[in-house]
Structure formats: structure tokens, C-alpha cells
Amino acid sequence: MRDVIDTLDNWREKNEEFAVATVVNTWGSAPRPIGSKMIASLRGGIAGSVSAGCVEGSVIEEGRTVLASGKPRLLTFGVADEEAWQVGLACGGTIQVFVEPSSALEGIYTALKSHLRARHPMAVVSVLHGVPEIMNRKLIVFPDDRTEGDLDIPGQNDQITRAAVEFLGKETSGVFDLQDGTSLFVEVYSLPPRLVIIGAVHLAEALVSIAHTVGFDTILIDPRKAFATQERFPFVNSLLQDWPQEVLPKLVLDRSAYVVVLTHDPKLDDPAIQIALRSEARYIGALGSRRTNNKRIERLRKAGFLDEQIARLHAPIGLDLGGRLPGEIAVSIMAEIIQERNKAVVGQA
């Protein structure tokens, strides 16, 4: 939804009717993960994607049917042999796509938009199959069990909330069924991954740009005000002109945080690394040669860090792609971060 919210907002302001398609299940080599979205208006506008282009045409046609009837539909697409490029998947996988009318969002849209903009973690529950009275209704569930929305199933609401919170904890979207046969889709919106960069060096310019492109929020920390400027880093989400030891303790360094240290200056690097190693940050990396890193490890040991703690540090940083230019090194760093993220995060949009 984050990928299409601006277009969706624009269409709503123009009172355009549109259908919303969401990948709710996948098997095999599916081209797009669970939670991927596409919206299609009656006027022919399109935003987002549910496949690599294989089934979009068919989904758009189904969207017109859904808008005419007001009833959502659950579609299944797999390999269609000689017609695979028209109405099936050439990759060999299978996907289920839930297509619903724009009216299904009415009960939660204002709240959903607000929470998406504020980056609040939440789960959105939709009804894939159930009695007509609860179709096109949704529920927003937060990690602390609070709920908002117009979906109400007497006797089942507590179970739905618990299940949604469990999906949130796993950072995974998916389908679950109630005992009465109602089938629900829980779409998880975790905190966006945050890249915390120590050092407004030349390499950081390319790194911020690439991180922005692949959907990371970026926080850049450097007390050197001549280096840490908005002009040099137009895509950065937060620019903090301060020492890492002053700023990092105030940030939430949880499993959505990725910390990269780039300055080569122990006065900046070492406090940042030590704070990050004591945190729950998913990734901690530091720039420098093997010789530089060996000296860094010695300082960490003198500071009381154990080898198993130090082992969390990715140094020298990045996948070995053989690059030497700042842009190439930035690509290798983001490649390693994405690899680390994908070990644990599955099925998010």
C-alpha cells in the first residue's frame, strides 16, 4: 500500500472508482511477494503490480467486474502453458490475488493513510471469504492490541486480534481461518527498515540515494556541520549534526535498524559501534581494511566486548563485488544489508 498510496489518494480526491488487487498467497516461484498491490481505475489508470506483468491484464478485467458488482473476488493464477504470458505465470509459480472495490477501504481509509504516513507498525485484516455482511470490511490492529475499523465478528474479535498481533511479531503477512469457515488475510506493515549512517563522507551520498530507492528510511549522523548538509544529502530522512554517542541512545535500534559506520575516525566510529553492538540492530557494518578492522577488534575487546558480540560486526563492510568507486562500494553495502534483511523478513509489501 505504501507504494500506491499517493496515486490512490489522488484518485479518491477526483472521485474515481478503482479496484484494489493484493497478492495474498504464493506457491513456487511467484514473481511478487505476499502483500504486493496494484490499483486500477475505471478510466484506465494503473499503479503497482501483482506479478511481472503476466496477469495484470486479467486482474484489471476482474477489477471491472468487482466494481460493477461491489463484491470482492479471490483469483488464482498459475502456469497456463501456451497462454502463460496472457493469463498465467511463465515463472512456474502460483499466486492468489484478492480483488476488491475501492469502497472496501472507506471504513479505514483516513486512519490507514494517517498511520502509513506516520510509519506506525500495524496489521490490516481483510475478509477473503465469509458471510456477505462482513465482506468489504476491515480491521486495523496495532502491536498493543488496539484496533480501529469496521470489521466486527461477534465472538471472534479477540481471536482475530491475537492472530494479527502474532503476524506482526513475525513481520509476515498471511491467511488464517476461523472455526466458522471465515477466511481472513492479515497484511502486516512493519516499521520501514531504517539505515543509520555514521559519517557524512562522500560514500554516504551514494549510500543514502540507493537506500532511498530500495525503500529504507535513512538517518545520517555527523557532528561536522560542513559535511552534514541537506544540499549534499537531499534524500536523507533525518540529518543529525551531533556526536553518535549523543544521538544513538535516543534512537530505537531494534530489528528494523541497520547501522553503518563510515568515518575511519575512532572518535566517531568506536562509540557508534559499541552502542550498536549492545542494541538489537539487525545489521552493524563498518568501513575499513582488514588491518583497520583488526585494530578495531582489539579496541572492542579492551572495552569489554566478547568475541560473540564482536562477531555481529560486518567488517570489512559489504559483499565482495570487486568495486572500488564510492557508488560501487555503496551498492555492495546495500547488497549485504538487503541479503541480511531477507534472511528474516518474508512476505512484506
Per-residue buried b or exposed e for 103-120, using 16+ beta carbons within 10 Å of the residue's own CB: ebbebbeeebbebeeeee
Note whether 21 and 76 are within 8 A (CB): no
Q: Is 171 helix (H, G, I), strand (E, B) or coil?
A: coil
Rounded Cα gap, residues 68 and 70, in angstroms: 6
Report the CATH number of the 194-344 domain: 3.40.50.720
Parse the chain into domains and list their residue ranges.
5-103, 109-189, 194-344
Grid cell for residue 316: 570489512
Give the per-residue pLDDT at 348: 42
Give the per-residue pLDDT at 82: 47
Grid cell for residue 67: 466494481
Provide the β-strand partners of residue 252: none
Which residues in the chain come in under a pLDDT of 70?
A: 79-92, 344-349
pTM comes to 0.77
Give the per-residue pLDDT at 81: 46
